[in-house]
Amino acid sequence: SNALMAGKRGLIMGLANDKSIAWGIARSLADAGAELAFSYQGEALKRRVDPLAAQLGSQIVLPCDVGDEDSLDALFAALAETWGELDFVVHAIGFSDKNELRGRYVDTSRGNFSLTMDISVYSFTAVMQRAEKMMGEGGSALTLTYYGAEQVMPHYNVMGVAKAALEASVKYMAEDLGKDGIRVNAISAGPIKTLAASGIGDFRYIMKWNEFNSPLRRNVTTDDVGKSALYLLSDLSSGVTGETLHVDSGYHIVGMKAVDAPDI
């Protein structure tokens, strides 16, 4: 086949349901001919992830809590056994106590700061330590971030600080792994209504604000993110690493929006 991802094998981490950004990415990769494996957190999610994986022709669905080193080891041992080599990995995982995704950042607790950094930042590094060993012929890795890393957004709080660290970790890993032909990039997605996003205070208002103030005057979909992910995970982006690509209807370039009415 001459499909873009024919013969490529990749791991998708962070699929919770059909609203997940990971689902938009998985669909676009499968459409392009990629062979996929999925990891999920906790038995409760297995019931949701199994049928979605099957829909894309994947039988490889494995548990992994990225906060646990043994769980990560078990995931990559199982993958190494079935596949041997890995071409790409998608890290679509983040977590923070939703009680601290409202109110003031300055009130963040030490415990939730550590937990947020561990699950949302360090986990990508922990994944790459293991994925690297299976990418003998090079590879491409992708994580998900948000504009709250760069500028202050209401209620994003400790998650914004974590995403800033995640974006920095993308650059450090791009340098470390570049000599082995492994590329590491991020997509900074505009707001999308997912399970994780529902924990953020006033999320509906943030969606409306982005819809009205972004150059494209609409919110992005998981399809939009999936198409850009296909670019970053395929050979089309062979010269790109350490990059954060904004898939946000252009919101990040707006300093002040012009009034649409012509007579003001």
14 is in an annotated binding site: yes
The dihedral over CA atoms of 105, 107, 108, 109, expressed in degrees to the nearest 10, equals 170
Least separation in angstroms between residue 5's CB and ligand NAD is 21
d(CA 76, CA 82): 10
Phi and psi at 162, nearest 5°, equal -65, -40
Q: Is 106 annotated as a binding residue?
A: no
Binding test (CB under 6 A) with ligand NAD, winner from 4, 21, 32, 184: 21
Distance CA 264, CA 261 (A): 6
| 249 part of the interface to ligand NAD, by CB under 6 A | no
- CB of residue 148 to ligand NAD, shortest distance in Å: 8
Residue 229 labelled as part of a binding site: no
Pairing of strands 244-247, 182-189: parallel
User: Which residues lie closer than 8 Å to 136 by C-beta, 6 or more apart?
Assistant: 85
Chain CA centroid to CA 239, Å: 20
The single residue among 31, 65, 97, 243 that binds ligand NAD, judged by CB under 6 A, is: 65
Of 143, 48, 37, nearest to 92 by C-alpha is 143
Nearer to ligand NAD, 194 or 241 (CB): 194
Choose which of 157, 194, 214, 234 interacts with ligand NAD (CB under 6 A).
194
Which residues fall in the annotated binding site for NAD(+)?
14, 20-21, 41, 65-66, 93, 163, 192-196
Residues within the interface to ligand NAD (CB under 6 A):
14-16, 20-22, 41, 45, 64-67, 92-95, 119, 144-146, 189, 191-192, 194-197
